[in-house]
Amino acid sequence: MKNPIKAITTLYKETMSEMRKCTWPDRRELYESTVLVISFLIVLSVVVTVADKLLLFCVRLITGI
């Protein structure tokens, strides 16, 4: 059976080694990505709302409610 302390130490060292290879976005890139995500969410919510209202109208028209 492996030594759990050694396994944890190895995992930590390998994780830190991989994290050094990562590139992190600067403030401008992060801002642009955030604006893009929020814009997409707003557009998606409008599309879902319109689809919901349209389907509700169709169901009421068919059922006569």
- DSSP calls for 5-64: HHHHHHHHHHHHHHHHH-----HHHHHHHHHHHHHHHHHHHHHHHHHHHHHHHHHHHHHT
Q: Give the C-alpha separation, 22 to 5, whole Å.
A: 26
Q: Where are the domains of the chain?
A: 25-65
How do residues 18-51 score in pLDDT, each as one tens digit?
A: 999 999 899 999 999 999 999 999 999 999 999 9
Residue 65: pLDDT band (50, 70, 90) is: confident
Residue 4 reports pLDDT greater than 90: no
Tokens representing 59? 């169901």
In the prediction, which pLDDT does 38 show?
98
